[in-house]
Every structure is written in structure tokens, then in C-alpha cells.
């Protein structure tokens, strides 16, 4: 018997050790309400000692209260649950220190519709959710700000046109309507960017890739942007470029964001180069500007949502979309210093289907 007892004790010790490596709190109890396991993370959230808690009544260990002062056991009564209940969904509670603790629970039954013989409770700090709530609030505020700016212009000019139509000259009307049209385009693009961000974040991005000419697609982007700016955009292409495997619309969006970003944040000439990849079939798109460059410590942040710098404007979504769309095609994006000063952004785009599964 002593040998069997030793094996049981060793098994329990290994289970406890593994539970301590789990990132969230774990608490287990039998039907008679005795704590059998409590890992280090759970003990910290409950303000008890994990070793001393084992063998104690569950009510003495799981001292979590709701806003009305009721305990977790009083509200959920897990051992009295009807036979079809298998779990307790996530709930918010307060521990003895007043900190939010999020709990979930699984009811263990001896058979599918049998009695509850034990419970396993998951415990997690509510700080992560509070941070997520703040990030969501910041996101809403940022989006609202970006939408309000062009909407204010549209509203103002339309109101002026309605109130003073007979007093305005044809040139004034045309100027106002041109401005309204530009603001409407800005709104449409921002909404399209937000939708792309949502699709990238949720993995619902739809791609329709095929073999395409990078020279043709990039050349169209450069010509279109150069026609609408006073800045010089140089376009250099290496001979015998391979084709790329890309959704032409998404690839065009990547290049457009890169070139417009270089114009917005740099000075002087913007240079766009296409060359074959050195290591695998594909094309490297390089965009250089003559601005102040991007410090090494900030280069990772460039690809986060709503990251902007200086007073050059923009939604702060362009480079996030560049990174997301490139990775969705199996490509990579890197930032370096341009030889003549400024920033260099390089996108390596494969010729084959290297999309992540």
C-alpha cells in the first residue's frame, strides 16, 4: 500500500507543478466542497497560500464577491446545478483587495447526466480586460476624430451652398463642390481602410491572386500619384523581372500606401525601384524618400494601427495595411535608412503562392 500511496502522491505533485506553469489561476474541488488543487497564480488572485488552501473548504478559499456582496458559491451553486449544465460562463468578481477577477468553471460529472462530482474553476486578472476596454475606447475616439474632420468640411460647405446659393458665383460654387468631393473621397478611403484593418485582424481577408506584372501595376500607381502632386517620383525597373503572384487590387493598395506615405513624410524626390529578389523568385519593391528617416527604435511601431508622426496627417493605417496585405501574400516588409538620408521601405513579394495556411 505504501508504494501505491507514494505513486499517488507523486502524481498529485506533478499535477500541481504543471498547474503552476499555467498562465491563469486554476482551482479544483470535490463534490463535498474540499479544495484539491490551487496553483500559484490562483492563490495570488485569491490572496491565500496555495499549499495551505488544499484540503480547506471551498467557501474559505474562493472568497470572491459580486457588487452586492454575494459570494461565487452563493450565486452559482455548482453542486446543485441541473443535469444538463456543464459549465459556468465568464463572470466578473472582486477579490479581497478589490481587484477584478474573471472566472469560468467546468462542472465534472461521473456520467453525462450524472451528479456533479467536482468543479474546476479558472481565475484570471481583470487588468487585461480593462486594458482592452481602454484600447477599444481609444480606437473609437481615433476613428471618430478621423471621420469628423472631413464630415465637418462637407457639412460646412453644403450648408453654405444651401444658404447662399444665389449670392455665390459659379467659380465659388465649383470650388466648394470640389472641396466637398475631395472630403467625400477621403471619407470613402478611410472607411475602406477600416474595413481592411478589420478583415486583417479577423483573418477574413479575401484574396484573388494570380500571376501579375509588378512593373505594370507599380507604373500605374506612380503615374497616378505623380499627376496629383508637385513632388517628383522616380521609377526605376530592373530588366527581366519575374511576375508576381498577387491580388492586383491588394498589391496596388500596398504600393499606393508606400508611395503616398513617402510623399507625406519625406521631402525632395521619392524613388521607386523594382528588382528581382536575390534568394527566391519574386520582386523587391523599394521606396526611398529624402526626409528625416525613421529611428531604429520606432520601426516596429510603424506597422501598428493609428501610428502617426509629425504634422503630416494621414489616418495612421497605411503601413499597418501594407504589412498585413504583404504577409497575407507570403511577403515581408522591412525598413532601413535610404542611402541619401530619409527612409527606405522594402517589400519582398514572391512569384509563387506562399500564402500562410
DSSP string, 296-325: GGGTTGGGSTT---TT----S-HHHHHHHH
Q: Quick one: pLDDT at residue 63?
A: 92
Average pLDDT of 261-271? 84
Comparing 158 with 130, which gets the higher pLDDT?
Answer: 158
Average pLDDT of 287-296? 85
Average pLDDT of 215-232? 90
Q: Quick one: pLDDT at residue 140?
A: 72
Check whether 106 has a pLDDT greater than 90: yes
3-state helix, strand, coil in the chain (%, to 5): 45, 25, 30
Q: Quick one: pLDDT at residue 132?
A: 65
Q: Quick one: pLDDT at residue 8?
A: 44
- Residue 130 class from Cβ within 10 Å (0-12 exposed, 13-18 middle, 19+ buried)? exposed
- Residue 325 class from Cβ within 10 Å (0-12 exposed, 13-18 middle, 19+ buried)? buried
User: How far is CA 242 from its chain centroid?
Assistant: 33
* C-alpha pair distances (Å), 54 with each of 43, 50, 64, 102, 298: 11, 7, 17, 21, 48
Check whether 186 has a pLDDT greater than 90: no
Residue among 287, 279, 356, 351 nearest 318 (CA): 287
Q: Quick one: pLDDT at residue 26?
A: 94
Average pLDDT of 320-334? 93
Q: Quick one: pLDDT at residue 16?
A: 57
Burial 209-219 (b: 16+ CB within 10 A, else e): beebebbebbb
Check whether 36 has a pLDDT greater than 50: yes
Average pLDDT of 45-59? 93
On whether the CB atoms of residues 107 and 80 are closer than 8 A, the answer is no
Q: Quick one: pLDDT at residue 38?
A: 93
Average pLDDT of 318-335? 92
User: How far is CA 266 from its chain centroid?
Assistant: 27
Tens-place pLDDT, residues 224-243: 988 888 888 999 999 999 99
Average pLDDT of 343-349? 94
Please report, to the nearest 10 degrees, the dihedral formed by the alpha carbons of residues 43, 47, 48, 50 taken in order: 10
Q: Quick one: pLDDT at residue 308?
A: 67
Dmax over CA atoms of the chain, in Å, equals 104
Instruction: For residues 181 and 187, give the distance between their C-alpha atoms in angstroms, rounded to a whole number.
Output: 10
Which residue segments constitute the domains of the chain, with CATH numbers given? 2-125 (3.30.450.20), 130-202 (1.10.287.130), 210-350 (3.30.565.10)
On whether the CB atoms of residues 247 and 209 are closer than 8 A, the answer is yes
Residue among 271, 79, 157, 256 nearest 165 (CA): 157
Beta strands in 50-201 (DSSP E): 87-94, 100-109, 116-125
Average pLDDT of 24-40? 93
Lowest mean pLDDT among 152-161, 215-224, 262-271: 262-271
Lowest mean pLDDT among 118-122, 254-258, 264-268: 264-268
Tens-place pLDDT, residues 295-311: 888 888 888 777 766 55
* C-alpha pair distances (Å), 261 with each of 213, 302, 320, 354: 23, 11, 12, 26
Comparing 261 with 62, which gets the higher pLDDT?
Answer: 62
Lowest mean pLDDT among 54-58, 64-68, 263-267, 273-277: 263-267
Pairing of strands 233-237, 270-276: parallel
Burial 139-154 (b: 16+ CB within 10 A, else e): eeebbeebbeebeebb
Q: Which residues contact 330 (CB under 8 A, 6 or more apart)?
A: 350, 352, 353, 354, 355, 356
Average pLDDT across the chain, whole number: 86
What cell was used for 13?
505533485
Amino acid at each position: 500500500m505504501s508504494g501505491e500511496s507514494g505513486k499517488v502522491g507523486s502524481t498529485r505533485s506533478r499535477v500541481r507543478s504543471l498547474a503552476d506553469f499555467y498562465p491563469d489561476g486554476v482551482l479544483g474541488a470535490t463534490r463535498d466542497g474540499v479544495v484539491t488543487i490551487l496553483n500559484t497564480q490562483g492563490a495570488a488572485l485569491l490572496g491565500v497560500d496555495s499549499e495551505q488552501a488544499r484540503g480547506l473548504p471551498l467557501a474559505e478559499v474562493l472568497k470572491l464577491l459580486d457588487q452586492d456582496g454575494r459570494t461565487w458559491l452563493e450565486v452559482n451553486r455548482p453542486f446543485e446545478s441541473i443535469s444538463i449544465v456543464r459549465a459556468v460562463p465568464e463572470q466578473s468578481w472582486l477579490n479581497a483587495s478589490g481587484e477584478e477577477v474573471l472566472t469560468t468553471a467546468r462542472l465534472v460529472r461521473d456520467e453525462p447526466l450524472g451528479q456533479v462530482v467536482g468543479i474546476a474553476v479558472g481565475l484570471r486578472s481583470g487588468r487585461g480586460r480593462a486594458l482592452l476596454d481602454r484600447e477599444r475606447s481609444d480606437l473609437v475616439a481615433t476613428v471618430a476624430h478621423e471621420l469628423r474632420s472631413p464630415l465637418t468640411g462637407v457639412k460646412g460647405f453644403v450648408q453654405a451652398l444651401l444658404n447662399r446659393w444665389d449670392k455665390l458665383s459659379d467659380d465659388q460654387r465649383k470650388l466648394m463642390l470640389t472641396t466637398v468631393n475631395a472630403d467625400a473621397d477621403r471619407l470613402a478611403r478611410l472607411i475602406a481602410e477600416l474595413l481592411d484593418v478589420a478583415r486583417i485582424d479577423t483573418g477574413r481577408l479575401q484574396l484573388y491572386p494570380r500571376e501579375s506584372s509588378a512593373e505594370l501595376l507599380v507604373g500605374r500607381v506612380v503615374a497616378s500619384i505623380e499627376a496629383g502632386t508637385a513632388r517628383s517620383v522616380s521609377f526605376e525597373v530592373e530588366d527581366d523581372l519575374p511576375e508576381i503572384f498577387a491580388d492586383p487590387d491588394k498589391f496596388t493598395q500596398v504600393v499606393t500606401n508606400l508611395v503616398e506615405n513617402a510623399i507625406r513624410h519625406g521631402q525632395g524626390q521619392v524613388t521607386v525601384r523594382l528588382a528581382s529578389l536575390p534568394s527566391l523568385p519574386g520582386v523587391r519593391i523599394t521606396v526611398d524618400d529624402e526626409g528625416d528617416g525613421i529611428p531604429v527604435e520606432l520601426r516596429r511601431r510603424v506597422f501598428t494601427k493609428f501610428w502617426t508622426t509629425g504634422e503630416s496627417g494621414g489616418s495612421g493605417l497605411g503601413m499597418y495595411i501594407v504589412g498585413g496585405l504583404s504577409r497575407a501574400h507570403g511577403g515581408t516588409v522591412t525598413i532601413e535608412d535610404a542611402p541619401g538620408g530619409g527612409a527606405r521601405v522594402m517589400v519582398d513579394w514572391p512569384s509563387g503562392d506562399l500564402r500562410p495556411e
